[in-house]
Every structure is written in C-alpha cells, then in structure tokens.
Amino acid sequence: MQRTVASAARRIRPPFFPSRISLPLARHDHKHCLATPVRFAQAPNSPCVVRSDAQRPTIYALSTPPGKAGVAVVRVSGPGALDAWTHLLKPVRAPVPWKLQRCRIVHPESGDQLDDGLAVFFKGPKSFTTEDVLELHIHSGRAIIASVLGALARLPYCRPAEPGEFTRRAFEGGRLDLTQVEGLKDLVDAETEGQRRMALRAAGGSTRAQFEQLRTEIIGCLAKIEALIDFGEGEDIEDGVYEDARERAKNLRGIIQSYLQDNRRGEIMRTGVRLTIFGPPNAGKSSLLNFLAQREAAIVTSVPGTTRDILELSLDIGGIPVVVSDTAGLRRTEDPVELIGVERARNAIDAADVALCVVSCADLGGRDSAMELPTSVKALITDDTFILFNKIDLDAGDATRLRGPHRWTTSLKTGHGTGEFLDGLAKALQTKYALNDDSAFMHTPLITHARHRVHLESAAQFIDAFLATSADDIVIGAEELRYAAKAVGKVSGLIDVEDVLDALFKDFCIGK
Ligand SMILES: Nc1nc2c(ncn2[C@@H]2O[C@H](COP(=O)(O)OP(=O)(O)OP(=O)(O)O)[C@@H](O)[C@H]2O)c(=O)[nH]1
Ligand SMILES: [K+]
Ligand SMILES: [Mg+2]
C-alpha cells in the first residue's frame, strides 16, 4: 500500500522540538504571596509557559513618566489584580472588563481617599501581559502617584515591577515573541519615521510571521526525510520524496540568502547610517557638518588642519537616522597630532556605510570637463563615494560639469545649492536603504538585530550541511535540518531563550 507523505508526516512523533518551554520565575521574594487559587488562562500558541499561578506575585508600576501632567497610568498585573480593584476602588462593585470606569481610589487600610480617577480591568488572557491587569488613570503629580503606589504596596501579594517586567510577562504568556519584544522596545526608542515604521512592523508580528513561516517550511522538509526514515522509499512512500525535499531545501537556502544579503539595512535603520565626511584640508568639511546640524558643532577656521579628532553627530536626514562624522583633512603632515587625526580619518572612511568627499572647487585641477580631483583624495574615491564640490562661489567654470548622480555643488558660505544637496542626499540615502515609499516598505528588511543574522547564518549552514549529505545518510541529513529549524526558532524565542531574556529586558524602563 502506498502511503502519501502527508499522512506519513503526521505520524511522526515525538514533536520535533518541544513547543513549550518553561522559564524560571522572576527573582523575588515569594514568602508574602497570596495563597488564593487563581485561574490562569493560557494564550493560544503560547511559546512558553511559566505559571505557578497563585504563587506568582502581582506586579505594579507607574507606566507614564513621573511628574506633573494631566494623567498618570499605574498598571497592576497578576493574579491579585482583581483583589486590588476590590480593595482600592470605591464605590465597591465588580469591574466590567475592558471598560473604563469612574471611581475614587482609596487606601486599602484607612479608607482615605487618595485621588479621583478612572480604572479599567483587563481580564486575562485578553490583556497586554495575558494576566489580569488593572490600570488606574489618576492625576499625575508626585504626591498622588506616591500615595497610590504606597497603597498598592500595602497589599501583601503585590510588589513593584522590575524594568520591562510587564513585557516579559507578555512574552512568557505567549502574547509576544522575541522579535515583537524587540520591536516594542525599538518602537519606544524610535526617533525617525523609518525607525518607527520598521519597529511597528516587528511589534505587530510581521517579522515573527516571516520567521515562523521559514521554520515551518524547514520542518516540512524534515517531515519528508523523517517519513523516508520511518517507511523507506518504494515500499510505503511515493517516489521522488528525497529529491523533492532537497529541492525545497535548496529554495529555502536561497530565501535565507536573500534575507542575509540586505546591506545590513535593518540594523542600519535601527542604529543609523554611518556617514563619514572626508576630503582635503579647508574644503569645508566642518562647515558641512555645521550646516547639517544647524548649529556650530565643529570649529571652522581658515587654517588648514583645524579638525583633528573625529566629531560625530546623530542626525535625522530625510527620515533616516544618520551618524555623521567630521574628520581631519587628508594631507601629508609632519605634525604628530595632525598625523593621528589623518590616520583616524582613514579608519572612519573604511568603517563608513556612506563616504562623502568634500572638495573645494578652488582645489580642482584640469579644465572644464576634464576636471581633476586633488591627489590626496583621488585614490579614496570609488563608484559608491558621494562627492560635494563646495566653494562654488570661487569657481569660474560651469557648475553643471560637476553635478551628477551622487555629486552636488554648493557654497556653504552663501548657501547656494545647499537645498538641492540636502534633498539629493536624503533621496540617495532613502534609495540606498530602500525606505522611501510604501512599496519599499514592503521590502523592509527582515533582519533588524545582529542576533537574527547570527541565527539565520547558522540555519543556512545547517541546510548546506543537509544538502551535502546523500540519500545514503538521510539520518544525518534529518539531523542537520532539525538544527536548521532550531536555529530559526531561536529568533522568535521558541527555544533557548534564557540568555537573551535578561539582556533584552534590562534595557526596558520600569512600567513597560
Ligand atoms: N568661499 C567659501 N569659503 C568657504 C565655503 N565653505 C567654507 N568656507 C570657508 O573655508 C574655510 C575652511 O572651512 P572648514 O569648514 O574649517 O574646512 P575643513 O574642511 O573642515 O578644514 P579642516 O578641518 O582644516 O580640514 C573656512 O574659513 C570657511 O569659512 C564656501 O562655500 N565658500
Ligand atoms: K579649516
Ligand atoms: Mg574641519
């Protein structure tokens, strides 16, 4: 009897990897925990489970910045959230879940009124953390906030939240995977439009879905190989299964490769494009930095060799975060200090994502179209180098001879051409990092953290190892595929997350 692979694949047990892992409980003191039994609903498809339910402390924190403002939000999450509602809110009544309700907030022991505000109860698992959550919307003032936090502290099962602990519980409850947690953090940190869009995409789960699909497809390949191991080709299984699995693996290898060949766009969007300004002395490099920054950040003088150290500024150019470096003018010099500056400039050019050469028109050799760049920079110019011909006010020739793709003319002294240059630079960066419109948004890079790249590279290596095996050693081949799927699973945090968690959550603020 011929069995189809689909039916054979379903038979494979045990599951390739545990879909649920347990994480240690957060570090804290359990001895005051309330012992009332509390029901915990499990979020669907939860990647991991940490539930010792009643034992789990309820956490609270101010989730808005401290200080005087219209509203402050205090969040309470955990099995005791409902009890906190009962003890802190007047008039006494059961919450209508997910509905903002008017109330007075009182001290649980003295009954003194602390503030007048609004409260909403999110019934788990339909809450941010997947636990029961109480949100108190109170007036934002130091004394009010302190009194409400103080009241919560009186409840024996409550303790203050650690940085990022609400998000951590959302992760542990299966509400978020690691890419979404990273996305949330990046979203809060986003300073440019591009960063915001990329982070929102990750936080919203698109990145998670893409990695999940990749993992599912690897598992699909593995299922075929496992079926072969179980039943053997020819007898129970249709022909060509092995070839089919190889073909699929080759495709997947290509897809992973395309993700990896992204010019580091995602990481660059997060941390900024490294743009190095270089050129001969006195070309106007520091003047350019000041123009971009709209302030006198660097010293500008008519003395060649003014800039020695590298001066870095983080700027937003056309919605893209750019770390701009001003460097020492390149020339031969006997001055030991300037020599170090020139050395550093060369290193900064090497490390740059984009190198922008500034040349003074007064330093150009040759005539008309046969323009010659100064020898000090000639060897450093490649097809990718951007060139700004500055001091166009000193140039007698026709400026159009100098302009072209990634080549602009300005006078930073008179302001001539600076608008065109800024627009052109922004467009060039947007094009290079493919983030200029909504269609490009579709191609927003998948890899936004170095961690993703590491795991994808290792998945690619395991698939290569599978492809290097022959039909005779399918058991080894299956093992390689298993490792490949596991490597991709690490990106989402389905497995082996311990090491990442602490590092990730420690950067969060309290109340998030
Ligand atoms: N005429 C004219 N002078 C300019 C222009 N841009 C800058 N300058 C002047 O050129 C001189 C050198 O400018 P900087 O910005 O210090 O030049 P730099 O390339 O940083 O010089 P180093 O740091 O010494 O290598 C200053 O006196 C500027 O005022 C311009 O477009 N036209
Ligand atoms: K100078
Ligand atoms: Mg300078």
The domain ranges of the chain are 27-161, 180-262+447-505, 280-317+324-431
**Does ligand 1 come within 6 angstroms of the Cβ of 412?**
yes
Q: Which ligand is nearest to the CA of 356?
A: 1
Residues, beta carbon < 5 Å, ion ligand 3: 285-286, 306-307
**Does ligand 1 come within 6 angstroms of the Cβ of 287?**
yes
- Report the SS3 class of residue 343: helix
pLDDT at 300: 98
Q: Which ligand is nearest to the CA of 283?
A: 1
Phi, psi of 287 (to 5 degrees): -60, -40
Is the Cβ–Cβ distance between 135 and 75 less than 8 Å? yes
Phi, psi of 114 (to 5 degrees): -100, -40
**Does ligand 1 come within 6 angstroms of the Cβ of 307?**
yes
Phi-psi region of 239 (alpha: psi -120 to 50; beta: other; left: phi over 0): beta
CATH match for 280-317+324-431 among 3.40.50.300, 3.40.50.12780, 3.30.2130.10, 3.40.1260.10: 3.40.50.300
**Does ligand 1 come within 6 angstroms of the Cβ of 394?**
yes
Task: Tell me how far apart the alpha carbons of residues 55 and 157 are, in angstroms, rounded to a whole number.
Answer: 9
Nearest to 147 by CA among 74, 50, 223, 59: 74
DSSP 26: P
Distance of CA 3 to the CA centre of its chain: 45
Q: Degrees (nearest 5) of the Cα angle 48, 54, 56?
A: 55
User: ipTM surpassing 0.95, yes or no?
Assistant: yes
Q: Six-digit token pair at 413?
A: 């002294």
Q: Six-digit token pair at 86?
A: 């009962």
Partner residues linked to 407 by β-bridges: 387, 404
Task: Tell me how far apart the alpha carbons of residues 297 and 286 are, in angstroms, rounded to a whole number.
Answer: 8
Say how many Å lie between the CA of residue 277 and the centre of ligand 2: 14
Task: Tell me how far apart the alpha carbons of residues 44 and 28 are, in angstroms, rounded to a whole number.
Answer: 28
Task: Tell me how far apart the alpha carbons of residues 173 and 43 are, in angstroms, rounded to a whole number.
Answer: 6
Is the Cβ–Cβ distance between 204 and 197 less than 8 Å? no
**Does ligand 1 come within 6 angstroms of the Cβ of 411?**
yes
Residue nearest to atom 13 of ligand 1 (CA): 284
Task: Tell me how far apart the alpha carbons of residues 475 and 493 are, in angstroms, rounded to a whole number.
Answer: 26
Residue nearest to atom 32 of ligand 1 (CA): 391
Integer angstrom CA distances of residue 277 from 98, 171, 307, 312: 54, 43, 12, 10
Which ligand 1 atom is at minimum distance from the Cα of 279?
19
Say how many Å lie between the CA of residue 282 and the centre of ligand 1: 5
**Does ligand 1 come within 6 angstroms of the Cβ of 299?**
no
Q: How many residues make up the chain in this entry?
A: 512
pLDDT at 214: 94
Ligand 1 pocket, mutate which of 287, 290, 291, 295 (most atoms under 8 A from CB): 287
Partner residues linked to 59 by β-bridges: 77, 159
pLDDT at 92: 86
Is the Cβ–Cβ distance between 322 and 316 less than 8 Å? yes
**Does ligand 1 come within 6 angstroms of the Cβ of 308?**
no
Strand 407-409 with 386-390, pairing = parallel
Buried b (16+ CB within 10 A) or exposed e, 84-112: bbebbbeeeeebeeeeeeebebbbbeeee
* Residue 378: Cβ within 10 Å count: 10
Which ligand 1 atom is at minimum distance from the Cα of 358?
19
Residue nearest to atom 23 of ligand 1 (CA): 307
**Does ligand 1 come within 6 angstroms of the Cβ of 304?**
yes
DSSP 421: H
Which ligand 1 atom is at minimum distance from the Cα of 394?
1
Say how many Å lie between the CA of residue 360 and the centre of ligand 3: 13
- Tokens 């467009």 locate to 427
Task: Tell me how far apart the alpha carbons of residues 228 and 335 are, in angstroms, rounded to a whole number.
Answer: 73
Nearest to 363 by CA among 354, 352, 372: 372
Task: Tell me how far apart the alpha carbons of residues 110 and 117 are, in angstroms, rounded to a whole number.
Answer: 19
- Tokens 């743009």 locate to 275
**Does ligand 1 come within 6 angstroms of the Cβ of 413?**
yes
- Regarding pTM above 0.90, the answer is no
| CA trace torsion 476, 498, 171, 210 (10° rounding) | -30
Handedness of CA 172, 177, 179, 180 (dihedral sign): negative
- Report the SS3 class of residue 69: strand
- Tokens 């409840």 locate to 155
- Report the SS3 class of residue 226: helix
**Does ligand 1 come within 6 angstroms of the Cβ of 377?**
no
Say how many Å lie between the CA of residue 294 and the centre of ligand 3: 16
Task: Tell me how far apart the alpha carbons of residues 278 and 4 are, in angstroms, rounded to a whole number.
Answer: 64
**Does ligand 1 come within 6 angstroms of the Cβ of 362?**
no
Burial class (CB in 10 A: 0-12, 13-18, 19+), 293: middle
Task: Tell me how far apart the alpha carbons of residues 18 and 4 are, in angstroms, rounded to a whole number.
Answer: 26
Which ligand 1 atom is at minimum distance from the Cα of 299?
16
Preceding peptide of 321 cis, ω within 30°: no
CATH match for 180-262+447-505 among 3.40.190.10, 1.10.150.530, 1.20.810.10, 1.20.120.430: 1.20.120.430
**Does ligand 1 come within 6 angstroms of the Cβ of 281?**
yes
User: pLDDT tens string for the chain (512 positions)?
Assistant: 444 433 333 332 222 222 322 232 233 333 332 222 222 233 333 333 344 566 789 999 999 999 999 999 999 999 999 999 999 999 989 999 999 999 999 999 999 999 999 999 999 999 999 999 999 999 999 999 999 999 999 999 999 999 999 999 999 999 999 999 999 999 999 988 888 988 999 999 999 999 999 999 999 999 888 888 877 766 666 778 889 999 999 999 999 999 998 878 888 888 889 999 999 999 999 999 999 999 999 999 999 999 999 999 999 898 888 999 999 999 999 999 999 999 999 999 999 999 999 999 999 987 666 789 999 999 999 999 999 999 999 988 888 999 999 999 999 999 999 999 999 999 999 888 765 444 444 456 789 998 999 999 999 999 999 999 998 899 999 999 999 999 999 998 876 556 556 666 666 677 77
CATH topology of domain 27-161: Gyrase A; domain 2 (3.30.1360)
DSSP 283: S
Ligand 1 pocket, mutate which of 325, 361, 392, 413 (most atoms under 8 A from CB): 413
Q: Which residues contact 366 (CB under 8 A, 6 or more apart)?
A: 372
Q: Six-digit token pair at 456?
A: 């994808």
- Tokens 């993992």 locate to 215
